Structure 1
Amino acid sequence: MIAPPTDRLRILVVDDEAPARQRITDLLKKDMQVETMFEARDGIAAVEIIQRESLDLIFLDVQMPELDGLGVIETIGTAQMPLTIFITAYDQHAIAAFEANALDYLLKPFSDERLEAAFARAKMRHIERNMQQFGLSMLRMVSSIVPAGRCLDRLVVKSGGTTRFLRVVDIDWIEGAGVYVNLHVGGKELLYRASLNELADSLDPMRFVRVHRSAIVNIDSILELQPISHGEFDVVLKDGHRSRVSRTYRAQLEKRLGQSL
C-alpha cells in the first residue's frame, strides 16, 4: 500500500551562531506544517544529521568553521540533498549557492517577512515534489500488477495544484526531459516525473511508437509523414508538432505501419 503524500516538514537549521538558529526555529515552530526541528552548529554535525534523518528542508549557513555550507553539499551530493535555503552575510556566495541547486538565498540581516516568504516557497516546492514522487510510485505499483500483455491506461499527473488521472489514449506525444517527460495533450503540456524509457516499456506498442530517443508519438495523432533529404522523415502531428524520425527508430515505425517508408 502506497501512503499518500504528506505536507508535514522535517527541518534542519545549520548555523554556527546560536542566536541565528534560535530566531529561525522560533519562527518556524509556529507553523502547523512543521513536524520536527533539528539544529546543527557546524557542517560536520549537519552532515551526520542529514545522513541519519529523513529531512525535507535545510536552512544552511554558508560560512562555518571546519566544514562550510558548500562543503556540506559536496559531501552529501547535490542529488541527495533535501530542499536547501542558504543563509549568509556575504552576497558573493549567491552564484555558488544557486549552482548547488539552492531553493532560495537569505542575505543577513534578513527580515521575518523575507524568511517567511522563503519558507512559503519551500512548502510549495515540498508539496510539488511529494506529489511527483507519489505519481511515480503509483506508476510503478500499477506497472507491477498489470498482467503480462496489458498496458497502462491511466497516468497519475499533478497539474495546477490538482492530481488528475490522465487517459493514456488522450496523449498526442511524449517528450523526454531527463528524469521527467512532457506529456502533450490537446495542445497543452503536463510535466510528469518518469523517464521516457520507463514509460516506453508500459505503453501499448500498437498505439505508441518511439520515433526518436527523446520522443514517443501516438499513432492516432499522426497527420502525415514528410520526407526530408537522404531518406529521413518528419512526423507531423495534428497539433502541428514536427518530430524527426531518427534512423535508429525508423525500423520500429515501419514495423508498426507494416510498410517501408
Structure 2
Amino acid sequence: MSAPAIRALLVDDEVLARLALRQALAAHADVEIVGECGHADEALQALAALAPDLLFLDIRMPGMDGFKLLHQLKPQALPMVVFATAYGQHALRAFDASALDYLLKPIDQARFDQAMARVRRHWQGFQSPAATAPHAAHLQRVSVRVGEHIRVIATERIDWIRAEGNYVEIHADGASHLHRETLSHLLSALDPARFLRIHRGTVVNVERIREVHPLFNGNAEIVLRDGTRLDLSRRFRAGARSVLGLP
C-alpha cells in the first residue's frame, strides 16, 4: 500500500509567490496541494476545514502575520510548517515556533528539495513511528518533572498523550504532566501494540478505550474508561480499525 499523500496548504498574500511554491512542489509527486490563501483570516478557516498536513507560510502579510496565525492554532492541530519569506531576520523565531524549515524568496529548487526531505522525515514519524527500530525494547517508564522532584511513570499507567509544541502532556492516574519531548519522538519509543495514534497530536493507550462513536465524514470519537472523549481523525482511522477491530 502506498503512503498517503502529504496534503499542503499555501499561505501567501502574493499570487506569484504561491505560483512559485506550486512550481517547486511539481517535482514532489507525494504532495497534494489542497488549497491556497492570500491572508491569515482566510488561512484560519482553511486550516479548520481542510486539516492539512503541511503549511507553507509567509510571515509578512496584511493584517495578522504568520507568527500570529500560528498562535491562533491549538498545538495538537498544528501541521508541519515551512516558512517561505523574503526576510531572513526571522529565522530564529521561526524555529522557536516549531517550524521545520525556513526558505528565503526567491525559491531555489535545490534548497526547496532539502526542505522537503526534512518534511518527509518528519512525516514518516507520523505514519510509521516504530519503523526505525522494530526490534528495540519499548520504553517502560517516563520521568517527568513535578516541581523540584522527578516523578517516574510506568508507561502502562499512561491513559493518553497530547502534543503541546515541543512538549507532550502525559495523562496518567488522573493527573497530567508536561514533559519536554516531541510526540513523534516519544511515540517511537513506546509499544505500538499498546499506544495508538488517533490524531496528529493525540496518542491513546488502547487498554483505556471503552467505546468508539462513529461520526460523519469518516471521523469518530473515542471514549476512555474515565469518560475522557478524544477525536479519532479520518487520517488515522485505518490504523485504529486494524488495532481495535473496527468495522
Task: Using structure 2 for the length normalisation, give the TM-score.
Answer: 0.55
Amino-acid identity (%):
28
What's the CA shift for 1:172? Answer: 8.2
Gaps of 5+ in 2: 145-167, 171-178, 180-187, 197-203, 209-247
Q: Which residue of 2 aligns with 1:191?
A: 189
Q: Which residue of 1 aligns with 2:61?
A: 64
Q: Which residue of 2 aligns with 1:53?
A: 50
- Structure possessing the higher radius of gyration over alpha carbons: 1
Q: Which residue of 1 aligns with 2:124?
A: 127
Out of 31, 39, 59, the residue aligned to residue 36 of structure 2 is: 39
Residues 63/8 of structure 1: CA separation in 2 closer, same or farther (3 Å cut):
same
Deviation digits for residues 129-176 of structure 1, max 9, x if unmatched? 1223xxxxxxxxxxxxxxxxxxxxxxxx3325xxx377xxx6585334
Q: Show structure 1 runs of 4+ deviating over 6 A.
A: none
**Cα distance in 2 for residues equivalent to 1:37 and 1:12:** 6
Q: Secondary structure at the match of 1:158?
A: coil
What's the CA shift for 1:128? Answer: 1.3
**Cα distance in 1 for residues equivalent to 2:139 and 2:114:** 38
CA contact (8 A) 1:12 1:38 kept: yes
Out of 131, 138, 141, the residue aligned to residue 174 of structure 1 is: 141
Q: Which residue of 2 aligns with 1:158?
A: 131
Alignment of 1:1-261 (within 5 A): 6-132=3-129, 157-160=130-133, 164=134, 173-176=140-143, 178=168, 191-192=189-190
Opposite residue 131 of structure 2, the aligned amino acid is K
Residues 191/19 of structure 1: CA separation in 2 closer, same or farther (3 Å cut):
same
**Cα distance in 1 for residues equivalent to 2:138 and 2:55:** 38
Opposite residue 141 of structure 2, the aligned amino acid is I
Q: Secondary structure at the match of 1:106?
A: strand
What's the CA shift for 1:101? Answer: 0.6
**Cα distance in 1 for residues equivalent to 2:63 and 2:71:** 14
